[in-house]
Amino acid sequence: MWIEFASRDRKELRMTANGSTLIQLEGIKKVFYTDDVETHALSEVYLTIRQGEYVSISGPSGCGKTTLLSILGLLDTPTAGTYLLEGEQVSHLSTLARAEIRNRRIGFIYQAFNLIGDLTVYENVELPLTYGPMSHVDRQGRVQRALEKVGMTHRAQHYPALLSGGQQQRVAVARAVVGDPAILLADEPTGNLDSTNGEAVMALLRELHRNGVTICMVTHDPRYANHADRTVQMFDGRVLEDVVTASPNTEPPWAGKLPIILS
Ligand SMILES: Nc1ncnc2c1ncn2[C@@H]1O[C@H](COP(=O)(O)OP(=O)(O)OP(=O)(O)O)[C@@H](O)[C@H]1O
Ligand SMILES: [Mg+2]
């Protein structure tokens, strides 16, 4: 089976890629205060991510990668600095306002998959759509398409515990993209997978990117970092190096020809 993306919207999005600024961080700091200890997790981070980019973030353990992703994903707020998401200042919104934007505009993939055990695959993928107004038919169509993208329609009625790690992560990818987010944030998405399943998930991300999704992925693994078009190296709460290796949405020769492992 081959991954197929026929969405017209996605193609249009690709044409508008290569440009508009999606995320702009200016002097972001994050300090955690615990029992008289101050941890400076982020110190003056400046980062701009444009629509259609595929950015990988690497760096030693404790350098602030997850903290940065949490701020990008509006799960946490910076101690200082400015965060513009699609031109809107979102650094210091209320928890409710952040949750609202997060549900509409941001998709997450975690190392530990984070699927809900007593919901089926279908229900897990449907979950992000249940927070907003959408007809049952529209929801059904979106869930169906998201499951098709990751090759998991045949397991729609299974519970996560019955799936392999690779399958669970593919369901998590479907859940992350079902709402058509502005950006997909992934924190070590292959961290709990063997290399075959890791490669399959990476192929899936690459294919999503090729079809217009903007991705920001934290990874320890240099092989996977190289899938991205831009690699950001962090050290001690700062961006140490930011290298563009390809223009956004440049298609590698094997694009569109990746097999997806169905197990
Ligand atoms: N909720 C918290 N309370 C206190 N300190 C925290 C909290 N979250 C993170 N930290 C500290 O902030 C620093 C950055 O942590 P972070 O989880 O962002 O690192 P990381 O780069 O993702 O590391 P890893 O590669 O191990 O996942 C660390 O020193 C960590 O101990
Ligand atoms: Mg981390």
What DSSP assignment string belongs to the chain? Answer: -B-----HHHHHHHHHTTT-EEEEEEEEEEEEEETTEEEEEEEEEEEEEETT-EEEEE-STTSSHHHHHHHHTTSS--SEEEEEETTEE-TT--HHHHHHHHHHHEEEEETT----TTS-HHHHHHGGGGGS---HHHHHHHHHHHHHHTT-GGGTTS-GGGS-HHHHHHHHHHHHHTT--SEEEEESTTTTS-HHHHHHHHHHHHHHHHTT-EEEEE-S-HHHHTTSSEEEEEETTEEEEEEE-S-TTPPPTTTT--B----
Distance between the two ends of the chain, CA-based, in angstroms?
12
145-203 tens-digit pLDDT: 999 999 999 999 999 999 999 999 999 999 999 998 989 999 999 999 998 989 989 99
Enter the tokens of residue 96.
Answer: 């409710």
Q: Domains plus CATH for the chain?
A: 2-244 (3.40.50.300)
Percentage of the chain modeled with pLDDT above 70: 86
Q: What is the mean pLDDT of residues 56-73?
A: 96
**pLDDT at residue 251 is higher than 60:** no
pLDDT at 9: 38
Q: Which residues contact 151 (CB under 8 A, 6 or more apart)?
A: 1, 3, 170, 260, 261, 262
Q: Taking a C-beta distance cutoff of 8 angstroms, is the pair 254, 215 a contact?
A: no
Residue with CA nearest ligand 1 atom 1: 32
Q: State the distance from the centre of ligand 2 to the C-alpha of 186, rounded, in angstroms.
A: 11
Q: What is the mean pLDDT of residues 89-118?
A: 92
**pLDDT at residue 263 is higher than 60:** no
**pLDDT at residue 10 is higher than 60:** no
**How would residue 49 be classed by pLDDT, with cut points 50, 70 and 90?**
very high
Q: What is the mean pLDDT of residues 223-250?
A: 87
Enter the tokens of residue 25.
Answer: 């961080």
**How would residue 63 be classed by pLDDT, with cut points 50, 70 and 90?**
very high
If one compares 258 and 36, the residue with the highest pLDDT of the two is 36
Rounded to whole angstroms, what are the CA distances from 122 to 40, 44, 74, 151, 163?
Answer: 40, 41, 26, 13, 13
Q: Which of 5-14, 39-48, 157-166 has the lowest mean pLDDT?
A: 5-14
Q: State the distance from the centre of ligand 1 to the C-alpha of 21, rounded, in angstroms.
A: 27
**Nearest to residue 107, comparing CAs of 248, 224, 220, 216?**
216
Q: Taking a C-beta distance cutoff of 8 angstroms, is the pair 239, 46 a contact?
A: yes
pLDDT at 132: 79
**How would residue 249 be classed by pLDDT, with cut points 50, 70 and 90?**
low
Q: Which of 67-71, 111-115, 135-139, 243-247 has the lowest mean pLDDT?
A: 243-247
Rounded to whole angstroms, what are the CA distances from 41 to 81, 95, 204?
Answer: 14, 21, 31
Percentage of the chain modeled with pLDDT above 90: 72
Pocket test for ligand 1, best of 65, 68, 110, 218 (most atoms within 8 A of CB): 65
pLDDT at 17: 41
**pLDDT at residue 261 is higher than 60:** no
- The bound ligand whose nearest atom lies closest to the alpha carbon of 61 is 1
Q: State the distance from the centre of ligand 1 to the C-alpha of 232, rounded, in angstroms.
A: 18
Q: What is the mean pLDDT of residues 36-54?
A: 95
Q: Which residues line ligand 1 (CB under 6 A)?
A: 32, 34, 39, 41, 59, 61-67
Ligand 1 closest atom vs CA 234: 21
